[in-house]
Structure 1
Amino acid sequence: MADTDKAAQAEAPTPTAVQNPEIYTAQEFAQAAEKLFGPGTRDYTVLAAFQYVKKDKATKAEAVKIVHDFRNKTID
């Protein structure tokens, strides 16, 4: 029985410290603007935010930060 437990543990995937997050385009984020970034967030806001930081691809976490920072930017 101990041998089967060791075999099961060997087959089980081990969690890795670094996982590869999926990267999406600005267009993909723009298509799901309200769902990802909250009500009132328009597709053109997402595209403008990505243009402002000169990026066209990002992970979901990066996109949330990009859009949040852009929407909360103060204009002097």
Structure 2
Amino acid sequence: VSRTLAHLEEGGYVEVDDSGDAAVKYRAPVRLTALGGESMSEADRIIREVLDTTGKAMGVEQREQMYASLRTILNTLREI
């Protein structure tokens, strides 16, 4: 996680407030920068577009079955 945050910080996507105690640096607040917010907005737009497109290819019953299966998988992973 720390490497990923460092990479995002170097890219200008997040700001890590590392002004606190080094012993609790893993709890440092992380904020999206303007660039990070723009990137997230674009990612959200793409995800919505994909979901809209794929959702139209399935009927309501198929979609409900898919989400039920995904919930089952998630709950099983949480128990591992």
TM-score range, shorter chain: under 0.3
- TM normalised by structure 2 equals 0.25
Larger Rg: 1
Higher-helix-fraction structure:
2
